Structure 1
Amino acid sequence: MSTPRRTHTGSRRNEQARAAILSAATELLAEHGTAGVTIDRLAAHAGVGRQTIYRWWPSKDAVLLDALVHSAEHAVTIPDTGTLHADLDHFLRATFEAAGIERNRRALITAAIAAQDDPSLSEALDNFLTQRRTALTNLIERARTRGEIPPTAPIDLAVEQAFGVLWYRLLFHPSALHADTATALATALTTQLRATP
């Protein structure tokens, strides 16, 4: 009689460990700030070994950035209300609110600074920003498909303006990084896109 084959659970355990590390990074970031998060503290909080963390991330900052990406994917959904202004308002409000949380703001700034001298972190940050820009680009392109804005509407410029305002406030004027700013920005961008000659 043959022995039943055991179900392979390695990938599931790996995913559980990775999720535990990202969760630990988010919790420690909220509790201690970026300076208070270390690889040792992350490992202890997640219940894994240091080598498990280094299997997926080259540095602490890379873990924190990945935790922010994971959080953003859940906090900022892609709306489809049927109108450009409502979609922009929903997306930008959620984005500004998520970035305005102090632990997220500090982690984003830390990652942006560290990425200047860390190629792997720079690539991870660029992938994150590209993902966010693509999401907003697709949202606006839907409005063009509906005929809500002209075919010549400068979508790339509007996307750069949206994230330009976000990062300016993030870096230099964090007290203005709130939902009302996002709504005003959504209104301005909608007007600009619709008025394209």
Structure 2
Amino acid sequence: MAADEAGPRSHTGRRRNEAARRAILDAIGAAIEAGASLDQLTIDRIAADAGVGRQTIYRWWPSKGAVLAEAMTETARRLAPRPESGSLDADLHRFLVSTFEVAGREPAAGLLRSVVAEAQRDAATAAALAEFAAARRAELAAIVEAARGRGELDPAADAELLAEQALGVLWYRLVVTGAPVDGEVARRLAEVLVAQLR
């Protein structure tokens, strides 16, 4: 009896196949690191690079902006992870410097701006971008909370507000003013924030 005559196969519905998901996100990450622009990152190219069909992508993500935002989250975790040295000064400096340096370089900077623009038109991209921003904010807030647990800062310090301040500088420069987003700015910002926390 042929395979498709042997009886109904279990239906996976919209459940993700982790290998295909990983291939899609890895393909986007490789394309970004190779310098691909948002226009070049078409669904057809992503599908071909990942070895999957277009419908596999659309089954899991409702738009190109949404899959790109998730890929950005993965890339940020890999290239700018949360350090755990046991020192507020060191961890805050390292996290902000790596985050600003990754986000401020092309093609990442252009891609971030393009996703922000796409989020104004597409609700799925807006939701994915909000998740991306929330994930980075949570990493930064965790650094502050760990320092609080070690007694390094004022117990009343607002970790969430500090995280929004820090990343607000990044987005303001990246999207509004076009001012540099680099390690030097991040170091200055970290010094100001540490002083504020204490």
User: Shared fold by TM > 0.5?
Assistant: yes
- After TM superposition, give the deviation of residue 174 of structure 1 in Å: 4.7
Letter of the aligned partner of 2:169 in structure 1?
V
Q: In the alignment, what sits opposite 1:125?
A: 129
**Mapped pair 1:23 → 2:26:** yes
Question: Structure 2: 5+ residue runs without aligned partners?
Answer: 1-11
- After TM superposition, give the deviation of residue 157 of structure 1 in Å: 2.6
Contact 1:93–1:179 (CA under 8 A) maintained in structure 2: yes
Contact 1:65–1:107 (CA under 8 A) maintained in structure 2: no
Contact 1:26–1:64 (CA under 8 A) maintained in structure 2: no
* Corresponding residue SS for 1:128: helix
Take 1:154 and 1:37, find their aligned partners in 2: how far apart are those partners?
Answer: 39
Over residues 21-54 of structure 1, what are the superposed CA-to-partner deviations in whole Å (9 max), with x where a residue is unaligned? 1122223333431111211122122221111111
Over residues 67-114 of structure 1, what are the superposed CA-to-partner deviations in whole Å (9 max), with x where a residue is unaligned? 111111111222122221111001101111111221221221111121
- After TM superposition, give the deviation of residue 175 of structure 1 in Å: 5.6
Question: Structure 1: 5+ residue runs without aligned partners?
Answer: 1-9
**Mapped pair 1:96 → 2:100:** yes
Contact 1:169–1:176 (CA under 8 A) maintained in structure 2: yes
* Corresponding residue SS for 2:17: helix
**Mapped pair 1:163 → 2:167:** yes
Contact 2:170–2:181 (CA under 8 A) maintained in structure 1: yes
Take 1:72 and 1:153, find their aligned partners in 2: how far apart are those partners?
Answer: 26
**Mapped pair 1:105 → 2:109:** yes
- TM-score by length of structure 2 reads 0.84
Letter of the aligned partner of 1:90 in structure 2?
R
Contact 1:98–1:104 (CA under 8 A) maintained in structure 2: yes
* Corresponding residue SS for 1:32: coil
* Corresponding residue SS for 2:83: coil
Q: What does residue range 48-197 of structure 1 map to in structure 2 within 5 Å?
A: 48-174=52-178, 176-194=180-198
RMSD: 2.0
Take 1:156 and 1:84, find their aligned partners in 2: how far apart are those partners?
Answer: 15
Structure with greater helix share of residues:
1
- After TM superposition, give the deviation of residue 140 of structure 1 in Å: 0.5
Distance 1:134-1:32 versus aligned 2 partners, 3 A rule: closer
* Corresponding residue SS for 1:24: helix
- TM-score by length of structure 1 reads 0.85
Take 1:46 and 1:156, find their aligned partners in 2: how far apart are those partners?
Answer: 37
Identity rate, percent: 47
